C-alpha cells in the first residue's frame, strides 16, 4: 500500500474514455491511464463513454501487459440510499486489478480502506482538498497515497501543499479542458439542469445542451439558459455556465477569462521541481486522434525533462488550435 | 468567416445528383451491416440512444443518410434532402470529413470547435454515436467486409489515398487538441 512511484521522472496520467481510447493512450506512451465505469460512479458519465465490467478487466490487463498502470475513477458523491452501487464499483475495480482507485466521497473512501486495506487510494480533484489540513486528514485517516490538486492553485501554492502532503504524492492537471471552479463544490450545472458532475457525473449534461443556428451566430444553451453565441468567424465550444459569455453593465465578457485549453507544458520542470509526482492530461471524452497526439507529445516532454534536457515548448503549443492556450491559475492568483 | 473545409469538387457533386438513390442505399446498407457485424458491441454502447435516428448529411453531396442503429437490426435510408424526414439528430460535414471520423482520423470535438462539423438536435445522441464510433476502431477493410489476409495492405493503401485526397481538397488536418473543450 502507498508505495511511491518508482518512475525516474514524473508519471504521465492519461485519459481513457473507452477501451479503444485506453489502448491508444497506452500505445502512445502513457505511464498510467485513468478510466471509469459506465454509470453514475464516475465524473465523466457521458453517453457512449466508459467501461462495463468485462471491458474494465480486459483494459486493465492490456495496460499491465505493456507496463502501464490503471487508475479507476469512482469520483462522484454517493447518492443517498444507493451506496451499494458505489461499493460494488470499488469491489469490482479492485478485483479487476486496478492499481489505484480515485475517490472523492469520504464514506466511500472509508469503505474502500476498510474492505480493501492493501488497495492504493488516490483522492480525486472532486474532493477539493486544497489545504494542508484537508490533505493531512485524508492521508492520516485513510492512508491516501496521492491527492489530485484543484486547477485553481498557483505553482507556489502547489509547492507548499506538496511539501505538507508528503509522503502523500500530488498530481496536477497539465493539459486539456480547464475547470475554473472549486471542483466537487460547483452547483452551476445542478442549478441549470438538475444534474452535476458531483452526483451524476456530468457537467452540462449533453441531454440538456442545445445548439441552434441563428442568422449570424451559433447559439448554445444549457438547460434552456443561453450561455454563448459563437459568431461565424470564431471557434465553437461546449457550453458550460462558468465559461459562458454574458452581457452585464453593457459589456459582453466571460466570467473569468476566455476558456482556452489549459497547457502547462512550460511549467513541467517547475512542477516537478517542487515535488509533484504525476502530471494529468484531461480528456476522457476526446477522440483517439487527440489522445494519441497529446500523450505522445507529453511523453516526449516528460522523457526529455527526465534526461535533463530542455523541453520543446513550441511543439506542444502547436497542438492547440490557433496556438491559444493558458497556464490557468498556475501562474497567477486567480480567485 | 469560418467555413467547412474539404468539399468535393462541385462537378463531382453535380454528377452524384443524377445517380439513383436505391443502389446507393443498398450499398450503404451493406457497408453498415459489415461494420455492425465486425463490431457487435456498437449498438450496445449507444445505450439509451440505441434506436434513435441520425441524419448524416454530407454537406457537399446531394443526398442524406438516415441511419437508425439498433441491436439486431440497423436501418439505413437515403433521401435527396431532409424535408419531411423524421430524425433525432443531424450531423453535417463534407463527406471526406465524415469518413475521417469513422476511422479515427479526426477528433469529432475538434471538428465541431473549428466549425468543420455541424450538429443539430439531440446533443446526447450525437455524443453517444461519436463515442461508439470512436470505440469501434473501424477501418476500411472491416467496413467493406474484406478477408483478413488483405486487410493490412488494403488499409494502408486507403490511408495513403485519403491522405492525398484530404491535402488536395484542403480538408482539415488530422486532429490535435482544440482550444475549447468539454467541461473539465
- Going by the DSSP 8-state scheme, the letter that residue A162 receives in this structure is H
Residue of A nearest to B49 (CA): A47
What span, in angstroms and rounded, lies between the C-alpha atoms of A175 and A267? 11
Q: What is the pLDDT of residue A4?
A: 47
Q: How many Å apart are CA A245 and CA A72, to the nearest integer?
A: 34
Which CA distances in Å does B98 have to B92, B105, B112?
8, 10, 12
Residues on chain A touching B181 (C-beta within 8 angstroms): 176-178, 237-238, 261, 282-283, 286
Q: What is the mean pLDDT of residues A107-125?
A: 98
**Whole-angstrom Cα distance, residue A265 to residue A326?**
10
pLDDT of B11 strictly over 80:
yes
Q: Helix crossing, A83-96 with A106-115: angle to 10°?
A: 40
Option in A212, A232, A262 nearest B2 (CB)? A232
SS3 labels along B68-127: ECCCCCCEEEEECCCCCCCCCEEEEECHHHHHHHHCCCCCHHHHHHCCCCEEEECHHHHH
Angle subtended at Cα A109 by Cα A106 and Cα A111, rounded to the nearest 5 degrees = 110
Contacts of B2 in chain A (CB under 8 A): 232-235
What count of other Cβ atoms lies within 10 Å of the Cβ of residue A65? 9
**Chain B positions in Cβ-Cβ contact with residue A232 (cut-off 8 Å):** 1-2, 115
> Which chain A positions have a beta carbon within 8 Å of B113's beta carbon?
235-237, 321
Q: Which residues face A51 on adjacent strands?
A: A37
- Which of A179, A259, A287 is nearest residue B134 as measured by Cβ atoms? A287
How many C-beta atoms lie closer than 10 Å to residue A283's C-beta? 28
Query: Among partner residues A203, A230, A288, which is closest to B183 by beta-carbon distance?
Result: A203
| Distance in angstroms (rounded) separating the CA atoms of residues A35 and A49 | 10
CA torsion B80-B85-B91-B97 (nearest 10°) is: -20
The answer to whether the CB of B162 falls within 8 A of the CB of B154 is no
Nearest to A49 by CA among A37, A60, A61: A37
- What does the pLDDT average to over A199-221? 90
* Beta carbons of B109 and A151 less than 8 Å apart: no
Cβ <8 Å between A48 and B45: yes
Taken in order of first residue, the domains within chain B and their CATH numbers are 10-168 (3.30.1050.10)
| pLDDT tens profile A255-298 | 766 656 788 888 999 999 999 999 999 999 898 988 998 999 99
Q: Is-contact A110 A116, C-beta < 8 A?
A: no
B-chain CB neighbours of A149 within 8 Å are none
Cell numbers describing residue A296? 505522445
Distance (Å, rounded) from C-alpha B121 to C-alpha B87? 8
Instruction: Compute the nearest-CA separation of A117 from chain B (Å).
Output: 31
Site of grid cell 502507498? A2
B64-73, long-range: CB < 8 A, 24+ apart: B65/B28, B67/B32, B69/B36, B69/B42, B69/B43, B69/B129, B69/B132, B70/B43, B71/B43, B71/B44, B72/B43
| Global ipTM | 0.89
Q: Give the model's pLDDT for residue A224.
A: 94
For residue B175, what pLDDT is reported? 67
pLDDT at residue A250 above 50? yes
Residue in B2, B118, B179 closest to A325 by CB: B179
Q: What is the DSSP letter of A250?
A: T
Q: For A205, which residue in chain B has the nearest alpha carbon?
A: B124
The predicted pLDDT at position B1 comes to 66
Read off the pLDDT band of B95 (50, 70, 90).
Answer: very high
Test the B interface: residue of A50, A255, A317, A321 with most B CBs within 10 Å: A321
All domains of chain A, ordered by start, with CATH?
Answer: 11-178+260-331 (3.20.20.70), 198-254 (no CATH)
For residue B52, the distance in angstroms to the closest alpha carbon of chain A comes to: 13
CB of A208 within 8 A of CB of A225?
no
pLDDT at A177: 79
Residues of B with Cβ-Cβ distance to A230 under 8 angstroms: 115
| A253 in contact with chain B, both atoms CB, cutoff 8 A | no
Residues of B within 8 A of A21 (CB-CB) are 134-135
Query: What pLDDT digit, counting tens, does each position of A139-149 carry?
Result: 999 999 999 99
- Smallest CA–CA distance, residue B104 to chain A, in Å, is 6
Q: Are B177 and A320 an interchain contact pair (Cβ–Cβ within 8 Å)?
A: yes
Amino acid at each position: 500500500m502507498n508505495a511511491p512511484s518508482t518512475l525516474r521522472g514524473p508519471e504521465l496520467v492519461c485519459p481513457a474514455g473507452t477501451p479503444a481510447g485506453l489502448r491508444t493512450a497506452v500505445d502512445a506512451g502513457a505511464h498510467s491511464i485513468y478510466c471509469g465505469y459506465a454509470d453514475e460512479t464516475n465524473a465523466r458519465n457521458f453517453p457512449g463513454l466508459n467501461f462495463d465490467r468485462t471491458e474494465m478487466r480486459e483494459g486493465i490487463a492490456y495496460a499491465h501487459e505493456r507496463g502501464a498502470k490503471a487508475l479507476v475513477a469512482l469520483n462522484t458523491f454517493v447518492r443517498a440510499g444507493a451506496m451499494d452501487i458505489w461499493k460494488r464499483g470499488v469491489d469490482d475495480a479492485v478485483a479487476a486489478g486496478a492499481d489505484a482507485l480515485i475517490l472523492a466521497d469520504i464514506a466511500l473512501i472509508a469503505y474502500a480502506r476498510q474492505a480493501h486495506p492493501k488497495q492504493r487510494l488516490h483522492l480525486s480533484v472532486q474532493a477539493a482538498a486544497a489545504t494542508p489540513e484537508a490533505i493531512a486528514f485524508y492521508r492520516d485517516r485513510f492512508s491516501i497515497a496521492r491527492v489530485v490538486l484543484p486547477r485553481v492553485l498557483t505553482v507556489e501554492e502547489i509547492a507548499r501543499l506538496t511539501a505538507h502532503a508528503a509522503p502523500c504524492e500530488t498530481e496536477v492537471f497539465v493539459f486539456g479542458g480547464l475547470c475554473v471552479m472549486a471542483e466537487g463544490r460547483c452547483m452551476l450545472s445542478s442549478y441549470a439542469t438538475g444534474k452535476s458532475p458531483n452526483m451524476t457525473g456530468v457537467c452540462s449534461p449533453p441531454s440538456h445542451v442545445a445548439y441552434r443556428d441563428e442568422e449570424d451566430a451559433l447559439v448554445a444553451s444549457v438547460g434552456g439558459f443561453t450561455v454563448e453565441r459563437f459568431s461565424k468567424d470564431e471557434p465553437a465550444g461546449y457550453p458550460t455556465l462558468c465559461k459562458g459569455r454574458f452581457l452585464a453593465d453593457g459589456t459582453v465578457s466571460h466570467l473569468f477569462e476566455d476558456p482556452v485549453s489549459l497547457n502547462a507544458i512550460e511549467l513541467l520542470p517547475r512542477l516537478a521541481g517542487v515535488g509533484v509526482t504525476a502530471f494529468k492530461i484531461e480528456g476522457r471524452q476526446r477522440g483517439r486522434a487527440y489522445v494519441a497526439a497529446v500523450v505522445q507529445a507529453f511523453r516526449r516532454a516528460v522523457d526529455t525533462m527526465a534526461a535533463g534536457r530542455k523541453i520543446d515548448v513550441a511543439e506542444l503549443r502547436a497542438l492547440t488550435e490557433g496556438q491559444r492556450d493558458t497556464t490557468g491559475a498556475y501562474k497567477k492568483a486567480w480567485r | 468567416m469560418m467555413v467547412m473545409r474539404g468539399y468535393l469538387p462541385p462537378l463531382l457533386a453535380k454528377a452524384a445528383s443524377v445517380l439513383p438513390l436505391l443502389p446507393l442505399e443498398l450499398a450503404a446498407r451493406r457497408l453498415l451491416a459489415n461494420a455492425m457485424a465486425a463490431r457487435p458491441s456498437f449498438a450496445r454502447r449507444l445505450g439509451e440512444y440505441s434506436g434513435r435516428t441520425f441524419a448524416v448529411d454530407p454537406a457537399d453531396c446531394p443526398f442524406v443518410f438516415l441511419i437508425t442503429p439498433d441491436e439486431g437490426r440497423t436501418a439505413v435510408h437515403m433521401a435527396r434532402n431532409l424535408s419531411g424526414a423524421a430524425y433525432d439528430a443531424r450531423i453535417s460535414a463534407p463527406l471526406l470529413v465524415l469518413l475521417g471520423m469513422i476511422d479515427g482520423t479526426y477528433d469529432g470535438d475538434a471538428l465541431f470547435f473549428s466549425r468543420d462539423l455541424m450538429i443539430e438536435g439531440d446533443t446526447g445522441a450525437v455524443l453517444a454515436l461519436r463515442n461508439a464510433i470512436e470505440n469501434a476502431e473501424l477501418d476500411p477493410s472491416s467496413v467493406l467486409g474484406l478477408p483478413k489476409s488483405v486487410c493490412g495492405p488494403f488499409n494502408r493503401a486507403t490511408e495513403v489515398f485519403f491522405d492525398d485526397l484530404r491535402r488536395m481538397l484542403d480538408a482539415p488536418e488530422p486532429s490535435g487538441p482544440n482550444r475549447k473543450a468539454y467541461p473539465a
